[in-house]
Amino acid sequence: MRDFTSLDFISLVRARLAPLRVDPAREADIVGELAQHVAEHHAELVASGVPDDEAIAMALAPLDDRDRVAADIARADRPRVTAPEPPPLEGSSGSSVAGDFVRDLRYATRLLMQAPGFTAVAIVTLALGIGANAAIFSVLNSVLLKPLPYADPARLVMIGERGPDGSAGNTDYTTFLDWRDRAHTFEEMALIRSWQPTLMVNGEPERIAAMRVSWNYFRMLGVRPALGRDFRADEDNPDRWRVLLISDRLWRRRFGADPSVIGRVVKMNDLEHTIVGVVPPAFEPLISEHFYQPADMWGLVGYNVSLNYACRGCQHLKAIGRVNAGTSLETARADIDAVQAQLRRQFPAEYAQETMTLVPLQDELTNQIRPALLVLMGAVAFVLLIACANVANLLLARMARREHDLALRTALGASRGRLVRQLLAENTLLAALGGGAGVLLAATAVPLLAQVAPASMARLADAHVDARVVAFSALMSLATAMAFGLLPALRASRIDLRDAMHGETRKTSHAPTSLARRLLVAADVALAVVLLVGAGLMIRSVERLLGVDPGFDPDHVLTMQISMVGEAYRRDEAVAARTDEMVANLRALPGVSAVAAAGQIPLGGNGDRWGFHVQGRPVTPEDPSVERYSVTPEYFSVMRIPLRRGRLFTDADRAGAEPVMLVGERTARILWPGADPIGQHVRIGSATTGPWRTVVGIVGDVRHQQLAAPPTMQMYTPQGQVTDSFLTFVVRASGDVSILASEARRAIWSVARDVPVYETAPLMDLVARSVGPRRFVMLLLECFGASALLMTAVGLYGVISFTVSERTREIGIRAALGASRADIVRLVLGSGFLVVFSGLVVGVIVAAGATRYLQGSLYGISPTDPATFATVVALLFFVTLTAQSLPIARAMRVDPAVALRQE
């Protein structure tokens, strides 16, 4: 028997082992140990009678697969933890709270860089949540919160009789003078009214968006002209009112920013007006924009009480006042109420029994948009909550994997407070990154929002991410860090040291974390239900609205507005004759099948209500106001408004013929219930003057103000008999009507070169515009709903994946013991299903309560519409099922062998 020395076995082992690629000293150590093992094995085999050569071969046999053995050993021997060095513990030299924080941040940065996947998902999630909030807050800030850009805007109020919707109604000149003289709580009061003059410059007519105001209007707003002077009190009367202030924009556009424009005389509606001042460029014409259109020109009201349209009851003016400094709105309201009560006693026939109201100007200007914005703000808060829940979830999962590390640090003497601070530093860093990305996202999104926003959200155009928004986002990020970070941090501080140190045994020690994560996902699901129900209700509302029959057919109709004002159009006959010529010219255009002119059209954005007095009935202040349309005969065939009874207008219904009119169905039903209005006589406007008009037909109702509002009372008069000079042409043609616009404009100008043509648009656009605000809310809710859905799916996917990987061994054992695939699917699905189910139940309950805040924006659908709820629940169920399918597939592929070998 040969005597092998250890040295011989060392060379035998080394010859069989591939290089380990570890430290050479360590390699020698390992080879020595293996050689010693082989030697002992060999010695034992020889002792038991195995021939020497055979014994050597047997002892060395396990090393035959040289590469694998070397790799196994090298992997096992390599240091396992490559995590960054954690910051020093408390009590070490140079420790201070600030220093700790900086060190924590540095450590956190390295940790986050080490987990790029986790970091990216967390930051993107937060950026979505915070970005959506910052964007909507930017809008809210500029539209609702930012004070009006006028001096001391909180004291500016609209004054008027309280309307059914709480707004301040119109007033008349004489009543206004009484208010101004008798009320003592107002520093200033001013009137405004609409005005659409046609400015002639170099032979080109241009309709100017303008407004007539009291002489003290700009003084009341605290605005001084940048050039020239303000209006003067002695100019605000019928003789001297033709002086103008113009906008900076108009000054630059039409007058080349020429300073000598002051004193310049311009011709408008054939009358000479003198420009006396230019308003500063920063002035925002919000009042004119809200009530009429953003004004580029201001003239004086210029009334006195002798004018017949200055009468009590001639309510076509709006009053704005500035309440005295230190006077409350209530005091001022009581004051004006008392004045109005006096007037009612003095002139009982002139005033209906209405109380007065003062509406803060800011509220008046934002009342239409406020509910929608608040709904959106609520919706983005939900998005943020979902983002928080998801990030908290991510952190919890991460925490579970880091328990070992944290426990080690505790073992080395870190206090729990210290650990919580370290974790909060990580969360703060995440929130700061997410918040920063969110602000960038908002800065990109806000201009896009401004583009898709409806025209009624005027101030949205200047919405931008400013200091206030950044401050808001910073605050929100901080709150978010606390909200999503507290749970994992507290959880980490309670880690059971002993359990965690051998955390790799994959025991059930994560149960509380697991529960928290499940609760968070359930919350995700619940929040997503609420958001999606909101979005679903809005989608259905808009669908129903667009499906509403407006009472006319807007397809293939071009609309264009003109105004015939000035000396040439003083007489109605001239206007009527020109109208007929224009209609004939338009009718001759190729592809045109019918043409009409109307004083106003439905959904055109104006209103023209006239008093309606039936012959033989007593005249009362409660006589109805009825929407009036002055139309040419073909109007009903262009608009496809059906005739219900009687006849339509013909060319014979002109001045000099018997005055006739048509009424809408609603008018007929309300004023002649159960009776036939045809042949009845009606006086419109004044109850005491003007001809009696004979009702000759009943036509279908149209939706005038907006699609969502039920039809109002309506009547039609022939343009030949009640002649309007502000007209809208409606042209029905085949094909795309918008390409007809320039030809149509030429057709009108060939009749009269001095007529401005404006607001040319397909009728379909007007219909769409009327749905604009709802469509805007719908679009945003859809975005928020989609991100909620996505985040919920990701959150659920994360939790189920984690569960599967946590339970791989269990699944492996079950598989090994013969569990079928169906059993395993049931096992995994069961854990996810409970989460989804409880989330759905809570979500449906919360949604049922929350959707009533959406009520104002809904149309034709109940806030608790069962179909919407069912669809959302089904959608979420499907999405969550899909989110679980990947981990389930993984669970089914679990190889029991691999699973059980796992450490």
Partner 1 sequence: MSHDRELRKGSAELLILALLEQRDRHGYEIAKLIDERSDGALKFHVASLYPTLYRLERRGLIRGRWVERAGTRRRRFYRITAEGQKMLDSQRRSWNALFTDLNRVARIRHA
- Closest approach, Cβ 900 to partner 1, in A, equals 5
Establish if 12 lies at the interface with partner 1 (CB under 8 A): no
Identify the residue among 693, 769, 775, 814 touching partner 1 (CB under 8 A): 814
* DSSP letter for each residue of 8-59: HHHHHHHHHSPP--S-HHHHHHHHHHHHHHHHHHHHHHHHTT--HHHHHHHH
Long-range pairs for 470-475: beta carbons < 8 A, 24 or more residues apart = 470/439, 472/133, 472/134, 472/137, 472/141, 473/130, 473/133, 473/134, 473/137, 473/435, 473/438, 473/439, 473/442, 474/435
**How many residues can be counted in the chain?**
903
Q: List the one residue from 114, 274, 355, 508 that touches partner 1 (CB under 8 A).
A: 508
Q: Judged by CB under 8 A, does residue 23 bind partner 1?
A: no
- Cβ atoms of residues 659 and 639 within 8 Å: no
Q: Which of 39, 487, 748, 800 binds partner 1 (CB under 8 A)?
A: 39
Residue 186 forms beta bridges with which residues?
Answer: 323
CA distance 284 to 296: 10
Exactly one of 84, 88, 860, 896 binds partner 1 (CB under 8 A); that residue is 896
Q: Is 34 in the site for partner 1 (CB under 8 A)?
A: yes
Asked whether position 49 contacts partner 1 by CB under 8 A, the answer is: no
Query: How far apart, in whole angstroms, are the C-alpha atoms of residue 415 and residue 191?
Result: 71
CB neighbour class for 321 (10 Å; exposed up to 12, middle 13-18, buried from 19): buried
Selected binder of partner 1 within 184, 498, 571, 821 (CB under 8 A): 498
Q: If binding is defined by CB under 8 A, does position 54 make contact with partner 1?
A: no
Q: How far is the CB of 837 from partner 1 (least distance, A)?
A: 24
The answer to whether residue 77 forms part of the interface with partner 1 (CB under 8 A) is: yes
Segment near partner 1 (CB under 8 A), from 470-478, 685-693, 746-754, 811-819? Answer: 811-819
Cβ neighbours around 856 below 10 Å, total = 12
Q: Quick one: which of 377, 474, 678, 816 contacts partner 1 (CB under 8 A)?
A: 816
Q: How far is the CB of 798 from partner 1 (least distance, A)?
A: 25
| CB closer to partner 1, 78 vs 229 | 78
Q: Using the rule CB under 8 A, is 813 a contact of partner 1?
A: yes
Query: Exposed, middle or buried, 242 (CB in 10 Å: 0-12/13-18/19+)?
Result: middle
Distances (CA, A) of 665 to 115, 173, 645, 696: 70, 35, 10, 13
Instruction: State which residue, 74 or 875, has the beta carbon closest to partner 1.
Output: 74
* 50 contacts partner 1 (rule: CB under 8 A): no
DSSP per position, 513-571? HHHHHHHHHHHHHHHHHHHHHHHHHHHHHHHHHHHS--SS--TTEEEEEEE--SGGG-S
Binds partner 1 by CB under 8 A, chosen from 184, 502, 617, 753: 502
The footprint of partner 1 on this chain (CB under 8 A) covers a number of residues equal to 47
Instruction: Give the residue with the Cβ less far from partner 1, 146 or 826.
Output: 826
Residue 67 as a binder of partner 1 (CB under 8 A): the answer is no
Q: Could you tell me the smallest distance in angstroms from the CB atom of residue 818 to partner 1?
A: 8
Does position 893 interact with partner 1 (CB under 8 A)? The reply is: no
Binders of partner 1 among residues 318 to 337 (CB under 8 A) are: none
**How many CB atoms lie under 10 A from the CB of residue 85?**
7
Question: Which of 55, 56, 69, 850 touches partner 1 (CB under 8 A)?
Answer: 69
Kindly state whether residue 619 participates in binding partner 1, applying the rule CB under 8 A.
no
Which residues have CB under 8 Å from 558's CB, separation 6+? 729, 730, 731, 733, 737, 738, 740, 741, 744, 760, 761, 762, 763
Percent of residues in the chain assigned helix, strand, coil, to nearest 5: 55, 15, 30
* Separation of alpha carbons 699 and 548, rounded Å: 18
Rg (Cα) of the chain, in Å, rounded?
40
Nearest partner of 550 among 442, 415, 399, 709, judged by Cα: 709
| C-beta atoms surrounding 331 within 10 Å | 14
Q: How far apart are CB 826 and partner 1 at their closest, in Å?
A: 13
**CB 377, min distance to partner 1, A:** 49
| Helix (H), strand (E) at residue 300 | strand 297-300
Q: Decide: is 30 part of the binding site for partner 1 (CB under 8 A).
A: yes
Residue 24 makes contact with partner 1 by CB under 8 A: no
Helix (H, G, I), strand (E, B) or coil at 756: coil
- Positions of E strands within 311-362: 318-323, 356-360
Kindly state the helix (H) or strand (E) to which residue 180 belongs, with its residue range: helix 173-182
Asked if 817 interacts with partner 1 (CB under 8 A), we say: yes
Asked whether position 571 contacts partner 1 by CB under 8 A, the answer is no
Q: Among residues 7, 19, 28, 65, which is the contact residue for partner 1, using CB under 8 A?
A: 65
The CB-of-34 to partner 1 minimum distance in angstroms stands at 6
Using rule CB under 8 A, residue 591 touches partner 1: no
Is 821 among the residues that bind partner 1 (CB under 8 A)? no
- The answer to whether the CB of 375 falls within 8 A of the CB of 854 is yes
Q: Please pick, from the candidates 8, 18, 36, 544, the single residue that binds partner 1 as defined by CB under 8 A.
A: 36
Q: Least Å distance between CB 30 and partner 1?
A: 7
Task: Tell me: does residue 510 bind partner 1 (CB under 8 A).
Answer: no
Exactly one of 2, 80, 345, 494 binds partner 1 (CB under 8 A); which one? Answer: 80
Residue 433 lies near partner 1 (rule: CB under 8 A): no
User: 289-292: long-range contacts at Cβ-Cβ below 8 A with a sequence spacing of 24 or more?
Assistant: 289/458, 290/364, 290/365, 290/458, 291/192, 291/194, 291/318, 292/194, 292/209, 292/211
At closest approach, how far in Å is the CB of 504 from partner 1? Answer: 9
Residue (1 or 817) nearer to partner 1, CB: 817
- In the window 779-808, what residues touch partner 1 (CB under 8 A)? none
Identity of the residue, 20 or 220, whose beta carbon is nearer to partner 1 in the bound complex: 20
**Residue 46 makes contact with partner 1 by CB under 8 A:** no
Verify binding: residue 901, partner 1, rule CB under 8 A. Answer: yes
**Smallest distance from partner 1 to CB 82, Å:** 12
Binding site for partner 1 (CB under 8 A): 6, 29-30, 32-34, 36-41, 59, 61-63, 65, 68-69, 72-73, 75-80, 498-499, 501-502, 505, 507-508, 810, 813-814, 816-818, 896-898, 900-903
